Structures are given as structure tokens and as C-alpha cells.
Amino acid sequence: MKSYPIKFTPILKERLWGGTKLRDVLGKEISSDITGESWELSAVPGDVSVVANGPYKDKSLQELMDTHGAALLGESVLSRFGTEFPILIKFIDAKQDLSIQLHPNDELARKRHNSFGKTEMWYIMQADEGAELIVGFNKNVTKEEYTANLEKNTLTDILNYEKVKEGDTFFINTGKVHAIGAGVLLAEIQQTSDVTYRIYDFNRRDKDGNTRELHTEQALDAIDYEKKDDFKVAYTKEKNVSNTMVECPYFTTNYMDVEGHLEHDITGRDSFSIYMCVDGEAEIAIGEITEKVRKGETVLIPATTEMVNLISDKAKLLEVYIG
């Protein structure tokens, strides 16, 4: 396999709650004023990313996996997931509050939907004054208390609200009730899964006057009703090293503050690597091939790569791989 920083054409998604920051802040080519998501790297059926640069231009991510297997993914990743790309990478712009939701764990998702569960993390790229997330409950609740609040339209009274700013990072494990609040622009790394249980949508209606489907019954045995302070990620920001943010069975994410020229040895990782540029811009070089990434862009590095050169006056990157 040819090893170079592979870029993909973003898959843009209009959402009821979307806005214009993906265009105005991240420079995406978008005409719509309600674009909520840019899928940067996806192998979700029907939404498979297509290469935008280099020798593999116009090939799909699925074609690369089918053709190159372990050279792209890594032997350990291939043995665990086959040629199903295990994570989905997005940028999300919430002009309005997203619905309150949660995701089932692997066991429940497999039984009900023949799918993986959905563990995810968020890195806040920009937040309007006073912007918040909902993460978990503000007290321990029983299933009966939860149901009573849902019926009385008082669910938000028992939820935990977190004010956010740039750089804040949150780990959302399965079962945790959550929602992105209005005014938040973030990077999301998640298991490849589209299984979401929506439990409350603020009684909103779409342009045709319809409410969105709720998954009230399915959610009941998928929710973690316990109040837990396990979601805010503390991490160091040392320059020119990989600062660990999240390590879980589904992905590892590091924060990299790059200034100058960094020779980054990734020998023996046995996984593809992903670099999401969350601020500034950088050149990513593998051998003689160089690709520039700007804020809001993402590249995929094949697993056979041993050394990545990162060159920047000032860039913040999220480095993602399967540990």
C-alpha cells in the first residue's frame, strides 16, 4: 500500500438543529444554513467516505479496506473488526439544542440491532457565551423517577448541565444520557454505530409539522440511572508530544500541540492513525509526500507508516488510533 496522508471528501448532513459554523468557522463548502454535521471519515453503509487526494483519489474507504486490509487498518484492527471501519469521525455544529439521547452498549445493540454500541467523545472547538452540554443526571434516579419526570415533561430538572469552553473534552460511555447544547462546535470520535435512543426533543416539529420519533421503551433498560462524575477528561497540553486524553477499548485519542518540526515515531502501533486539525494548520509529511491540514480537516495514515513528520507554526491536532 502507498503510505501518504489520505484526505476524504466530507459528507455533509443537514439537521433540524444545524447552523453555519461548519462553513463560517471551519471553511467547509456549504450553501445550506442548517448543516449540522460533517462526517470526515465514515464507512457507514450509504455514507462511505471517498478519497479526495493522491494515488487513491476517488476510491472509497471501503475499497481501500477490501484491497489493502491489514496494511491500512493494522493486523490487530483487522482481526477484531474485519473490513468494517471501527470508528466514525465528525465535526458537529449545534445552532439549536440537540435531542436528549443515549446509546446502548455492545451487548444490547448486538441483540436488538445487530450493531456495535456507541461509545463517543467530544472535543469542544468553539462555544458561544453560556453554551452547555447535558451529560448524565444531577442525582441518582430510579427508573420509576425517570419515567415520572418524562411523563410530566420535567426531565430536564434531573439532568446535569455543564458549561463549556474551547478545549473542554468529554467522554460519553454507553448508557449515559446526553445532549449537545446550542452554540457548541465540536469534534466527535465515536464507535461506528448509528444506534441512538432519543428520549426527549423539546416537543419540536420539523418544517412539515412532524415531531421526531422517540425511543421511550427501548431506552428504559439501556440507561445508566446513577449520577457519575466520569465524563470530564483531564489532560496535559505539553508541546510536541502525544498527550493522552482518552484510552478505551474502541479508540485512543491524544492531544498534540505542534510548534516547529516534530518527527513522530508511530512504529509498532499496529493501527491506522487519524489526525484531526482542531486549530491552526500543519503540514503532515510521510517520506517525500506532504499534505496540509487546516482547522476542520482530517487525514488518515495507513498502519504500515512508521514515521510522521508534523510541521507547523502553531497547530492543535487530535491523534486517534485503535490501541
Active site residues: 198
Confirm if 259 and 301 have CB atoms less than 8 A apart. Answer: no
Distance in angstroms (rounded) separating the CA atoms of residues 100 and 134: 8
Element holding 304 (H helix, E strand):
none
Q: Give me the amino acid identity at 98.
A: L
**Conformational region of residue 114, where left means phi above 0, alpha means psi within -120 to 50, and beta covers everything else:** left
Show the DSSP H helices in the chain as ranges.
21-24, 61-68, 70-73, 75-81, 106-113, 143-151, 216-219
Query: What residue ranges in the chain does DSSP mark as E strands?
Result: 6-7, 11-19, 35-41, 43-44, 47-48, 87-94, 100-102, 120-127, 132-137, 159-163, 169-172, 178-180, 184-191, 197-200, 243-247, 252-265, 273-286, 289-294, 298-301, 307-321
Instruction: Give CA–CA dist 12/8, Å, rounded.
Output: 12
Quick one: cell of 132?
452547555
Q: Which amino acid is at 62?
A: Q
Q: Please state the residue numbers annotated as binding site for Zn(2+).
A: 103, 120, 178
Cell of 309: 513528520
Binding residues, by number, are 103, 120, 178
Number of neighbours of residue 304 by Cβ within 10 angstroms: 14
Q: Using CA atoms, how far apart are residues 150 and 169, in angstroms rounded to an integer? A: 28
